[in-house]
């Protein structure tokens, strides 16, 4: 069944044309054509291709890619894409977003991302058919799509990564919406997909998945030996904290990373490039800090893991890599070692610069490391990132910071000394029951 032509309204100076989503017959023909392609990094054998095409032909909505033996359990988050049921408004919103993204991506995205995007032949006028897109992604990267219903728990998100599945939604943002907190097709497909073709990014995404699985394995082994509910809760909390900190490494690179290209700032993070307005902001805005990092350097890696952020607005600090090669040093084991170290140390807010930073530019929102404590104790207005970081650190300082190795010792030595009066004021405020001191920082999310 083919869908009737839809009239896309003119919403910008470049009016949309009448667009007809490709018919079912055309899509199946196209699928048969691309499945035969052998001149790709991951060719599909004829038996698998035949089964995949038959599945698409049966009319079964696309759920989880079936081009390998591997699969993934999405539990209650499992979803599917029924291409025929996509609405005119959804196609229209996609077309508008792609047009806006292309205008900014061509100016601000790095070369590797733009080259990657060409490989997927994403139709700019209509939302991609996931059967076709999944086959193209697999052929170029070895990764496949897994369709999910909503914002999924970090555990499932990263477990998919460990098996080289990328979770994608079927929801398309309302027409004209820019930045969204929750992922949609515009973020998952038009933002993330091209990053898979940067081999170092695909490998580090897989490594994040493997690190996630290691943390869960270790948690389950400890839970088996736990003797009380208190002990079990402590084990759960410790694992949640490690996962949260590992998520920061992913956030500041795969989602919101910048890279130097011919000495110029370029974006590669999917969270940046899926939002035309944040794409411009991330490179041009004088508000944000930009810090050069070397992922091979343990101190710089720790800087990322100890930096908190919010997902509700544009980032206050962007981290800039000199190239993609250093990402290969971020093995699952190194991710684990970094987050275990970060768990023992004070953290930074998303606004501050800290001693040892290799600063590209100082943002107008920049604050010093001590300012968050002063603001908290003076009951000044602060965002949640500042509040929870200040409280976490003050509680840590109260219980005493004990460096376990040279890296932790160096990290602590470089931080400005906390005046003792601050800790007394914090203790008094806590005793007097200041309600905001009950905030937890263990609520970070990955999108
Ligand atoms: Fe994302």
**For 223-272, how does the pLDDT look when each residue is reduced to its tens digit (9 = 90+)?**
999 999 999 999 999 999 999 999 999 999 999 999 999 999 999 999 99
CB-CB contact of 267 with 109 (8 Å):
yes
Q: pLDDT tens across 300-356, in order? A: 999 999 999 999 899 999 999 999 999 999 999 999 999 999 999 999 999 999 999
Q: For residue 237, report the distance from its CA to the centre of ligand 1, in Å.
A: 24
Q: For residue 255, report the distance from its CA to the centre of ligand 1, in Å.
A: 6
Where exactly are the structural domains of the chain? 30-197, 202-438
- CA distances 330 to 9, 162, 261, 295, Å, are 46, 14, 21, 7
Q: For residue 135, report the distance from its CA to the centre of ligand 1, in Å.
A: 21
- CA distances 250 to 206, 209, 295, 336, 389, Å, are 11, 10, 12, 13, 19
60: left (phi over 0), alpha (psi -120 to 50) or beta: beta
Residue 443 has pLDDT above 60, yes or no: no
Q: For residue 190, report the distance from its CA to the centre of ligand 1, in Å.
A: 10
Q: For residue 256, report the distance from its CA to the centre of ligand 1, in Å.
A: 9
- What pLDDT, on a 0 to 100 scale, did the predictor assign at position 16? 47
Average of per-residue pLDDT across 19-35: 93
The phi, psi pair for 357, rounded to 5°, reads -65, 140
| CATH class of the structural domain 30-197 | mainly alpha
Q: For residue 108, report the distance from its CA to the centre of ligand 1, in Å.
A: 18
Q: In whole angstroms, what is the distance from residue 188 CA to residue 369 CA?
A: 34
Residue 428 has pLDDT above 90, yes or no: no
pLDDT band at 442 (very low <50, low <70, confident <90, very high): very low
Q: Which two tokens stand for residue 6?
A: 């839809």
Q: For residue 192, report the distance from its CA to the centre of ligand 1, in Å.
A: 6
- What pLDDT, on a 0 to 100 scale, did the predictor assign at position 241? 95
Q: For residue 218, report the distance from its CA to the centre of ligand 1, in Å.
A: 26
Average of per-residue pLDDT across 21-37: 95
- What pLDDT, on a 0 to 100 scale, did the predictor assign at position 438? 53
Q: For residue 232, report the distance from its CA to the centre of ligand 1, in Å.
A: 31
- What pLDDT, on a 0 to 100 scale, did the predictor assign at position 17? 54
- What pLDDT, on a 0 to 100 scale, did the predictor assign at position 118? 86
Q: For residue 188, report the distance from its CA to the centre of ligand 1, in Å.
A: 6
Residue 196 has pLDDT above 80, yes or no: yes
Q: For residue 204, report the distance from its CA to the centre of ligand 1, in Å.
A: 14
- CA distances 260 to 205, 290, 309, 324, Å, are 20, 12, 23, 9
Q: For residue 254, report the distance from its CA to the centre of ligand 1, in Å.
A: 8
Average of per-residue pLDDT across 144-151: 92
Q: For residue 274, report the distance from its CA to the centre of ligand 1, in Å.
A: 9
- What pLDDT, on a 0 to 100 scale, did the predictor assign at position 434? 65
Q: For residue 282, report the distance from its CA to the centre of ligand 1, in Å.
A: 16
Q: For residue 370, report the distance from its CA to the centre of ligand 1, in Å.
A: 32
- What pLDDT, on a 0 to 100 scale, did the predictor assign at position 123? 61
Contacts of 383 (CB under 8 A, 6+ apart): 310
Residue 97 has pLDDT above 90, yes or no: no
Q: Where is average pLDDT lowest: 79-83, 127-131, 438-442?
A: 438-442
- What pLDDT, on a 0 to 100 scale, did the predictor assign at position 178? 60
Q: For residue 271, report the distance from its CA to the centre of ligand 1, in Å.
A: 6
Q: What percent of the chain has pLDDT over 70?
A: 91
Residue with tokens 């270790």: 218
Neighbours of 212 (CB within 10 A): 27
Residue 7 has pLDDT above 70, yes or no: no
Q: In whole angstroms, what is the distance from residue 260 CA to residue 266 CA?
A: 6
Q: Where is average pLDDT lowest: 2-11, 258-267, 371-380?
A: 2-11
Q: Which two tokens stand for residue 30?
A: 């196209």
Average of per-residue pLDDT across 132-155: 93
Asked, colleague to colleague, whether 30-197 and 202-438 share their fold, the answer is: yes
- CA distances 301 to 161, 184, 355, Å, are 21, 29, 14
Domain topology for 202-438: 1.10.800
CB-CB contact of 278 with 272 (8 Å):
yes
CB-CB contact of 256 with 288 (8 Å):
no
Q: For residue 178, report the distance from its CA to the centre of ligand 1, in Å.
A: 15
- What pLDDT, on a 0 to 100 scale, did the predictor assign at position 12? 39
Rg of the Cα atoms in the chain? 23
Q: Where is average pLDDT lowest: 28-32, 416-420, 430-434?
A: 430-434
Q: What percent of the chain has pLDDT over 90?
A: 74
pLDDT band at 446 (very low <50, low <70, confident <90, very high): very low
Residue 366 DSSP one-character state: -
């Amino acid at each position: 069944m083919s869908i009737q032509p839809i009239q896309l309204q003119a919403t910008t100076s470049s009016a949309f044309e009448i667009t007809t989503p490709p018919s079912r017959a055309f899509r199946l023909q196209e699928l048969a054509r691309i499945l035969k392609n052998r001149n790709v990094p991951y060719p599909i054998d004829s038996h698998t291709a035949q089964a995949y095409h038959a599945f698409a032909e049966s009319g079964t909505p696309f759920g989880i890619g079936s081009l390998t033996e591997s699969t993934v359990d999405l539990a209650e988050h499992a979803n599917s894409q029924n291409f025929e049921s996509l609405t005119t408004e959804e196609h229209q919103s996609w077309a508008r977003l792609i047009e806006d993204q292309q205008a900014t991506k061509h100016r601000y995205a790095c070369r590797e991302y733009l080259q990657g995007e060409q490989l997927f032949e994403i139709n700019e006028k209509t939302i991609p058919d996931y059967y076709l897109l999944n086959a193209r992604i697999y052929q170029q990267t070895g990764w496949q799509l897994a369709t999910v219903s909503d914002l999924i728990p970090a555990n499932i998100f990263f477990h998919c990564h460990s098996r080289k599945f990328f979770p994608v939604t079927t929801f398309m943002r309302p027409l004209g919406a820019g930045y969204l907190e929750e992922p949609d097709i515009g973020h998952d497909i038009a933002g993330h997909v091209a990053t898979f073709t940067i081999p170092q990014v695909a490998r580090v995404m897989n490594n994040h998945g493997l690190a996630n699985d290691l943390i869960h394995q270790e948690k389950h082994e400890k839970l088996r030996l736990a003797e009380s509910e208190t002990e079990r809760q402590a084990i759960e909390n410790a694992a949640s904290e490690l996962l949260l900190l590992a998520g920061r490494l992913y956030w500041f690179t795969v989602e919101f990373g910048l890279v130097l290209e011919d000495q110029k700032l370029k974006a590669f993070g999917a969270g940046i490039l899926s939002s035309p307005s944040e794409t411009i902001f991330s490179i041009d805005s004088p508000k944000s800090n930009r810090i050069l990092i070397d992922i091979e350097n343990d101190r710089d890696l720790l800087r990322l893991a100890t930096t908190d952020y919010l997902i509700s607005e544009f980032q206050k600090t962007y981290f800039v890599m000199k190239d993609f090669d250093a990402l290969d040093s971020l093995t699952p084991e190194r991710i684990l070692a970094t987050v275990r170290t970060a768990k023992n140390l004070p953290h930074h807010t998303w606004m501050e610069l800290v001693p040892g930073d290799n600063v590209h530019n100082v943002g107008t929102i920049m604050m010093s490391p001590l300012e968050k404590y002063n603001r908290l104790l003076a009951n000044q207005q602060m965002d949640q990132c500042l509040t929870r970081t200040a409280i976490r650190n003050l509680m840590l300082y109260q219980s005493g910071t004990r460096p376990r190795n040279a890296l932790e010792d160096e990290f602590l030595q470089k931080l400005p000394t906390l005046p003792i009066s601050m800790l007394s004021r914090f203790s008094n405020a806590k005793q007097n029951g200041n309600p905001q001191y009950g905030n937890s920082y263990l609520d970070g999310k990955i999108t």
